[in-house]
Amino acid sequence: MGRPTLEALDDGAGKFGAGRTATTILDAARRLFLSDGLDGVNLDQVGRAAGVSRQTVYNQFGSKDALFRAVIDRHWSAIREETRALDPGSASPSADPTAVLLGFAQALLRFVHGTDQIAFTRLIVAESRRLPWIAEEFYRVGKAPVVEAFTAVLDSLVADGSLRCSNPMLAAHQFMGMVQEFVIWPKVMAIGDALHRLPGDTEVVEEAVATFLARYAAPRS
């Protein structure tokens, strides 16, 4: 007998419907993983926290590792979809590189401040020492597609003459690094009182844009 459909699942599907059941399970699993780590969580606990049975969790995800993969994928979904929606064709000859860079930086900031990215990154770093696939998955479903989408936009700005850059992928990493160095990594590393001496988000983004354009902006005719 094959795996039952979502609609046929037991108490979870009956209460919430298939889609809402999966969301409820993922929300509960995320909270538990962030609190107790991968080893500290089992499917019984996830089921109780989600208000469904262990069997419902198993039917939908199959294993704790598969559930953790799904949590990672969902964590990145907002920024992934937002950056995929960036239209490389929108970078027409009239496009303003400053506006493009500011828009991308703002998307990064919304992601960092709206998704527990700091706590989640700490979790991934901690678990990856023992299970390297976790870091690989975190990059594969998250940063990799974000960089790819941003690179495509930079490619289009190079093609229309707004930027002069021989390696847009390198440039994409450079720009993201200038932002993340201040808004993510000091908090991941918990640098204490030094956090209060860091520049604010607005200054970080404005300086990153200015630095990027000083290097890559095409000379005006």
Residue range 164-181: average pLDDT? 97
Structure-model confidence comparison of residues 103 and 6, the more confident one: 103
Looking at the structure, do residues 39 and 104 belong to the same domain, yes or no? Answer: no
Of the chain, the percentage scoring pLDDT greater than 70 comes to: 87
Q: How far is CA 206 from CA 98, 103, 193, in A?
A: 9, 11, 24
Looking at the structure, do residues 166 and 212 belong to the same domain, yes or no? Answer: yes
Residue 221 resides in a domain: no
Q: Are 149 and 84 in contact (CB under 8 A)?
A: yes
Q: Are 89 and 155 in contact (CB under 8 A)?
A: no
CA 97 to chain centre: 23
Q: Residue 168: left if φ>0, alpha if ψ -120 to 50, beta else—which one? A: alpha
Q: With bands split at pLDDT 50, 70 and 90, how would you rate the model's confidence at 193?
A: confident
Q: Any idea which residue has 């995320």 for tokens? A: 30
Residue range 79-108: average pLDDT? 78
Two tokens, residue 112:
């960092």
Q: What is the pLDDT of residue 9?
A: 40
- Whichever domain contains 46, its CATH number is 1.10.10.60
Residue 53 burial (CB < 10 Å; 0-12/13-18/19+)?
A: middle
Q: What is the pLDDT of residue 13?
A: 43
Residue 163 phi, psi (nearest 5): -125, 155
Q: How far apart are CA 197 and CA 30, in angstroms?
A: 31
- Whichever domain contains 152, its CATH number is 1.10.357.10
Residue 1 resides in a domain: no
Q: Is pLDDT of 91 > 90? A: no
**E strands in the chain:** none
Q: How far apart are CA 77 and CA 139, in angstroms?
A: 13
Residue 120 resides in a domain: yes
Q: How far is CA 45 from CA 16, 50, 72, 192, in A?
A: 19, 8, 19, 33
Q: What is the pLDDT of residue 11?
A: 40
Residue range 71-80: average pLDDT? 93
Q: What is the pLDDT of residue 20?
A: 77
pTM, 2 dp: 0.82
Q: Is pLDDT of 105 > 80? A: yes
Range of the domain at 165: 72-216
Looking at the structure, do residues 102 and 32 belong to the same domain, yes or no? Answer: no
